[in-house]
Amino acid sequence: MNVIVCGAGEVGFSISRHLSNEDNTITVIDQDKERLEKISNKLDIRTLVGYASHPNVLSEAGADNADMLIAVTQSDEINMISCQVAQTLFSVPIKIARVRAEVFNEAENTNLFDTGSIPIDAIISPEQEVAKSFTRLVAVPGAKDLISFDNDLVRLIQITLSEDCPVLNTPLGQLTELFPDLGARVVYIVRNEEGIVPDKLSQMKSGDNIYIIAESEKTDRVLSVFGKETARARRIVIIGGGTTALNVAKSIEKNEPQSKVTLIENDKNRAENIANELEKSIVLHGDALDKEVLEEAKIEQADFAFAVTGNDEINILSSILAKKYGCHSSAVLLAGDKYNPLISSLDIDAVVNPRELTVSRILRYVRKGQVFQVQSLREGEAEVIELEAMESSVLIGVPLKNKPLPEGVVIAAVIRGKNVILPDGGTMIEIGDKVIVFSRHDAVSEIEKIFSVGIGFY
């Protein structure tokens, strides 16, 4: 696949890394020579200095033969115009744009894209994705993250196991015997920063970060079995008053109306403007690193503190302070990755990474086959993919035990109509089934082949 990536920032680098590792031809366009040099020093890709929206630059990048254009520059306008030029002059089949401005994502303005006036196949709003992530944490506070598949029939739940987890040192194969109605499967274990695809004999240890595929209606039961609380968070303190923080507060007001939100913003004028936009939330003017301000926000009574300023350092420090002064749980927004090695040693319960959320949304349109959703895990180390079993797939009508999968791949769930099946060796996949697949990154291309080609693949 020939892909043009407009923008060499963190998202541009991340998606280029994903795609270049899969034998795609990647060209990255940016005006910043230093950014391009950093990318070209790390990745085997082509770089081009210039304006991504200029026809001559896109032509030089090979737009005539491009299969996809991904516009993730810092400018919404450049991203949209790049897609327009790519369609009008070069007929690029798939065009994806990151659009941050809230006004373009409002319902009354979606016709700009739905009718093809601005030819973009997928609009990605990092702020909206971040707001959804934090709202999910309110609904399921025992989890580090939760991703829904197929209208929330199935969920990917990420949790960290504590010493009081009742199923530590229990072979995973025994979980079904102990809890026959559990409706869940552990698909990945991260221990001491090493990823493990478990088998039936694998055991979980305290401190493990695990990923579970579960029937959504059994979420509370699953969390209880793994030693996590199930009550929804009711008191939320949001640290920061930027666009992202405002979106998080609005999302919680809409989707978790029983929750009480207090937002702390250091800029007085901004705090006043936010207060006018929110319906129920309390807005405080002050420094979230100040103990008195946190006490005014009643941090000791809070179920969750969400640190969502535009500064990673402030987010980390304010989150740690919130826990120190009595907040039950904390989650931070981290735009960069330089602090990732420290997070496991700090008293932080969850991390939301807008770059990874954006990359996950883009990958849905990159993956071959009938793909509905992709969730990238741990900076692309693995993926959970929701796709449809097509007639040409080699898995149709054959017991799974008769078709060994590549190493590092797990068929985690099969959705047939409204029924969720946690497959075993005797399960046969049918045409039209939606299949939830866990895969290490190096096996993703094999998954694409398995679900999109005929029997000749084997």
Instruction: State how far the Cα of 101 lies from the Cα of 350, in Å rounded to an integer.
Output: 26
Burial of 269 (C-beta count, 10 Å sphere; 0-12/13-18/19+): exposed
Q: Edge to edge, what strands does the sheet with 209-215 contain? A: 145-149, 154-160, 209-215, 184-191, 194-196
User: Which band of pLDDT confidence, cut at 50, 70 and 90, is reported for residue 454?
Assistant: very low
Residue 191 has what pLDDT? 92
Q: In this predicted structure, what is the pLDDT of residue 433?
A: 93
**Kind of pairing between the strands at 282-285 and 304-307:** unpaired
Identify which has the larger pLDDT, 22 or 27: 27
Q: What is the pLDDT of residue 116?
A: 66
Say which range, 102-116, 346-360, 362-376, has the weakest mean pLDDT: 102-116
Angle at the Cα of 158 (from 299 to 216), degrees rounded to 5? 100
pLDDT for the residue numbered 118: 83
Residue 232 is given by DSSP the state P
pLDDT tens digit sequence for 189-200: 999 889 999 999
Residue 384 has pLDDT above 70, yes or no: yes
**In this structure, how many other beta carbons lie within 10 angstroms of the beta carbon of residue 454?**
12
pLDDT of residue 176: 83
| CA dist., res. 222 & res. 230, Å (int) | 9
Q: What tens digit of pLDDT does each residue of 29-74 get?
A: 999 999 999 999 999 999 999 999 999 999 999 999 999 999 999 9
Burial profile 59-87: b = 16 or more Cβ within 10 angstroms, e = fewer = eebbbeebebbbbbbebbebbbbbbbbbb
- Mean pLDDT across 355-367: 84
Name the pairing type of β-strands 145-149 and 154-160.
antiparallel
Listed as own residue / partner, the contacts of 34-39 with beta carbons closer than 8 Å and 24 or more positions apart are 35/8, 35/9, 36/8, 38/8, 38/13, 39/8, 39/12, 39/13
H helices within 204-305, ranges in order? 219-225, 243-255, 268-277, 291-296
Per-residue pLDDT, averaged over 296-312, amounts to: 94
Per-residue pLDDT tens over the stretch 81-137: 999 999 999 999 999 999 988 787 666 666 677 656 788 988 888 888 898 889 888
pTM for the structure as a whole? 0.81
Task: Centre a 10 Å sphere on the Cβ of residue 382 and count the other Cβ atoms it contains.
Answer: 25
Backbone angles phi, psi at 320, to 5 degrees: -65, -40
Instruction: Work out the mean pLDDT of the chain and round it to a whole number.
Output: 89
Is the predicted pLDDT of residue 458 greater than 60, yes or no?
A: no
Q: What is the DSSP string of 11-40?
A: HHHHHHHHHHTTT-EEEEEES-HHHHHHHH
Give 146's Cβ-side CA count (13 Å radius): 23
338: burial class by Cβ within 10 Å (0-12, 13-18, 19+)?
exposed
Interacting residues of 123 by C-beta distance below 8 A, sequence separation 6+ = 97, 99, 104, 105, 113
